[in-house]
Every structure is written in C-alpha cells, then in structure tokens.
Amino acid sequence: MYDDLITRLTAGDRRALARMVSLIENGAPGSQEALARLHALGGHAHIIGVTGSPGAGKSTLVMQLVRELRRRAARVAIIAVDPTSPFTGGAILGDRIRMQDIGGDPNVYIRSMASRGSVGGLSSATRDAVRVLDAAAFDHIIIETVGAGQAEVEIVRAAQSIVVVTVPGMGDDIQALKAGILEIADCFCVNKADRPGADGAVAELRMLLSLDTGRDKAAWKPPIVKTIAATGEGVPALADALANHIAFLRASGQLVERGERQARSEILALLYQALLARVDATIGPDRFAAVVREVAARENDPYSAARAMEQQLGL
C-alpha cells in the first residue's frame, strides 16, 4: 500500500497525498517506515510558521500570502493546526472553510490538523505531515498555528522562518511577546494596518527589538511588515521578507544549523514517546497512577519512585 502511495504522491497525485497524511496523522501501522522513506526525498521546501494571537487575522493573511506565492509560480501547501475541543476531542477545522477559495488550485494543498492538546498548539503529527508535503515537491509549506502565547515557541521545531502576527490596539499582546515569542520571530507582521495605532505598534516592536541585546549581535534583523490582509496590501513585502530570510539562512550556513537542531529535537521527541509507551506496557497506567498518588501524599519521593521504575524498565 505505502509503495503505491509514495509513488503516486511524488508524481503529484493529490488523493494519494491526502491518504498518506491521514494514515500518518492516525498513526497507522507501517506509517513510520513510510516516513523514513519520504525523509530521503525531502529537504527542498521552505517551511514557514505563522503564529500570533487569536483575532490577528492569521488565516486571511495566510490565504493572501498563498495567492502572492502562486503569482510567483510556487507550489504551496498549508497546514492549519486547529484547537481541539477538550470536551469532544474534535477540531474546529474552520480554516479549511475560510480558505476554500484557494483550495481549488491544483498547486495549492490545504490540510487542517487537530492540535490534540499538544504543547504550543502544534499537533504531534504536524512535522510528519510536513515531511510528506516536502517529499511531494511543494516549494513552500505554511504552518498556521493556534495562538497560544508563550507555548507557541513549539513551532520553532518545525519551521525555518517564523512570522509573528499582531494587530494595532493590542498593546498587552505586544508586551506579552517579551515572554517568549519575541526571540523566535524572523519576521513581524502588523496586520490590519488600516486601523488606528498601526505606526505605534511598529514603533513598539522596534523598541522591544532594540532592548533584546541578543538581536544586536545577530546578522539577521527581523523586519516589521505592515499588512492589510483583507485587501492584500503589504503581502508582497511579506513574501519578499520571507524570501530574503531563507536566502540569508542558506548563505550563512544557519539553515543547516537549524536543521540539525530540529533533527535533534525530533529524535528526542521520538525517544520520549518510545519511553512512555514502554512505561505504559511494562509498569501499566494503574500502577503508575498509584505511584503518583504515593508521591503526592508524601508516602514516597519522586527520586526513589523514578529509580524503581528505571530498574523495572531495565534502564
């Protein structure tokens, strides 16, 4: 099955592509072996992360960015990471509806994925989906994430260029950038720039960047681009900024460095998942829960509990 899907998706078959992403998202048997094969076929796409607070207009901005990249003859894929309902486990998946008007383009692929409570609003299967899309020869892969504040730094583990989106009149939001998102941004976008206070938002971002001493030493200075996603104004400048950033990463050797950091992160994440699976199989959820209760009640301590489990696991 996977042989046929890989052959078809690398030849541009959209149904095979959608099927492969579904199998991977659901953790189907054999999916990791298929991903291992697809890994060797990728490494060419520019992976862009778009993050920011809810209401910043990220989905509309992404839609306009896709249109601009298509005007530049690029093939573009979008992964919209949706919040998962804590009650039903179902995702809103509204991004696909909002992006319907570009979904008919054969050179555009849109996929909504549920975050499933993952830290940073980034689905655990998102990186695997990126790997499939990369192998399918898309030039740009855009990941739009749930706006989740500081935890959004998780997107760094999947993207090469990070766009942080804010809007005028959200001073508290810009201040919050200091808490974690500020340092991950490769480009800032002040969207809805036709609103009052757009220039003030730009000035405040510049001030925050000037206070970040680590940025002073960096060769790349994150540009601040004003956009009006509703009309597309400023989006070509955003596309130019992203093109300049990936060119800088390639020329400076930082693209290789980022790739190595991401590979290290992914290997550690897979090891962590394997360890948890082994704990579940060897110790069992009931015994593990009992030990947790003992530690919480001060009847045991976390160090002794962990050592006992290590011995049981043969570590």
130 with 245, same domain?
yes
C-beta of residue 35 within 8 angstroms of C-beta of residue 128: yes
Residues 64 and 203 in one domain: yes
Handedness of CA 171, 173, 174, 179 (dihedral sign): positive
Q: Is residue 182 one of the residues assigned to a domain?
A: yes
Domain assignment present for 260 = no
* Same domain as 131, residue 20: no
Rounded to 10 deg, the angle between the 254-282 and 302-313 helix axes is 90
Asked whether residue 116 falls in the same domain as residue 183, the answer is yes
Question: Does one domain contain both 172 and 80?
Answer: yes
Rounded Cα distance, 66 and 69, in Å: 5
φ, ψ for residue 159, nearest 5 deg: -115, 160
Per-residue pLDDT of the chain (315 residues; tens, 9 = 90+): 899 999 999 998 999 999 999 998 888 999 989 999 999 999 999 999 998 877 888 888 999 999 999 999 999 999 887 665 444 444 444 444 455 567 678 899 988 876 655 544 455 678 889 999 999 999 999 998 866 554 456 666 789 999 999 888 765 555 555 556 677 889 999 999 999 999 988 998 888 888 766 665 568 889 999 999 999 999 999 999 999 999 999 999 999 999 998 889 888 888 888 898 899 999 999 999 999 999 999 999 999 999 999 999 988
What is d(CA 66, CA 76) in angstroms, rounded to the nearest whole number?
7
Specify whether 77 is located in the same domain as 156. yes
| Residue 184 sits in the same domain as residue 293 | no
Structural domain that includes position 303: 266-313
pTM here is 0.86
Q: Please indicate, yes or no, whether residues 112 and 173 belong to a single structural domain of this protein.
A: yes
| Number of domains the chain contains | 3
Q: What is the CATH number of the domain that holds 246?
A: 3.40.50.300
Judged by phi (left if over 0) then psi (alpha if -120 to 50, else beta), residue 12 lies in left
Amino acid letter for position 277: A
